A = this chain, B = another copy of it.
């Protein structure tokens, strides 16, 4: 049974044994969690280059060897096939199943990409007493497709997806300072204020996640979002792809603090 004091390794073992099948937001606080994208080696160069050219939405935490499901640099005994609580299997861009273990789907040519997520900087925001609205409201962060293009690489291209957190001006300043220290998990905001300026027609209707309240005097603050690579992969429709199920992340042994500059 997992608790707030469970270690990352305990969380991974629980996922591996089938005893843990839930979102990971509250699991093993203090440690980096990651978005997963698994692609055939034939697409890996283009995707790696896409991440290099778009480090704000696609901050790479690790890349596996082709066919090797172990990623020891990210965690003790870590196995990409079993250690996330839930996955998504995609074929030609269509979601075909949501298993809790992908061992049966693994192939010798698969490369796993782990991409940082905003849990790391949200923890730093809370520690700096910057309120995070969707956490206070107990819902998912609102996310939006924008009119900002990513920098293409090979077959990968598409719009930047952003997450939004409304902030009072004093909190905005502190939030920029705090998240600037975490360039490897999305870093500083990419936009502050008018949603229309980045192609968001209706701030109350996010493309992913849940809407949150924006109070008088607050401004919406937008960060590059790790949903971007999934959105981009979906538009490329590779013949085969594995991702995590939204919110069901890989919990690593890397302390959040080690990412700060």
- Which chain B residues border A53 with CB–CB below 8 Å? 63
| Selected interface stretch from A19-27, A31-39, A180-188 | A180-188
CB distance B48 to A180 under 8 Å?
Answer: no
- Which chain B residues border A151 with CB–CB below 8 Å? 73
- Which chain B residues border A187 with CB–CB below 8 Å? 261
Known A183-B261, A261-B180: A52·B60 in contact at CB below 8 Å: yes
Complex Cα spacing A51 to B63, Å: 12
Identify the closest chain B residue to A180 (Cβ).
Answer: B261
Does A200 make an interface contact (CB < 8 A)?
no
Complex Cα spacing A219 to B48, Å: 39
**Residue-wise interface mask of A (68-100) relative to B, using a CB-CB cutoff of 8 A (1 in contact, 0 not):** 000001000000000000000000000000000
Q: A44-B45, A52-B60 are in contact. List 13 more A-B contacts (CB 8 A).
A: A45-B45, A45-B48, A48-B52, A49-B63, A52-B52, A73-B151, A180-B261, A181-B261, A183-B183, A183-B261, A187-B261, A188-B261, A261-B261
A254 to chain B, nearest CB (A): 14
Complex Cα spacing A48 to B47, Å: 11
Beta-carbon contacts under 8 Å, A153-185 to B: 180-181, 183
- Which chain B residues border A45 with CB–CB below 8 Å? 44-45, 48
A200 to chain B, nearest CB (A): 25
Identify the closest chain B residue to A46 (Cβ).
Answer: B45
Identify the closest chain B residue to A179 (Cβ).
Answer: B261
A179 to chain B, nearest CB (A): 10
Complex Cα spacing A187 to B52, Å: 17
CB distance B44 to A52 under 8 Å?
Answer: no
Determine which residue in A44, A53, A63, A261 has the highest number of CB atoms from chain B within 10 A of its CB, and name it.
A261
3 closest A-B pairs (Cβ-Cβ)? A45-B45, A180-B261, A48-B48
Identify the closest chain B residue to A181 (Cβ).
Answer: B261
A154 to chain B, nearest CB (A): 8
Beta-carbon contacts under 8 Å, A102-140 to B: none
Beta-carbon contacts under 8 Å, A172-210 to B: 180-181, 183, 187-188
A76 to chain B, nearest CB (A): 17
Identify the closest chain B residue to A182 (Cβ).
Answer: B261
Known A44-B45, A261-B261: A63·B52 in contact at CB below 8 Å: yes
- Which chain B residues border A73 with CB–CB below 8 Å? 151
Complex Cα spacing A52 to B187, Å: 17
Complex Cα spacing A187 to B184, Å: 13
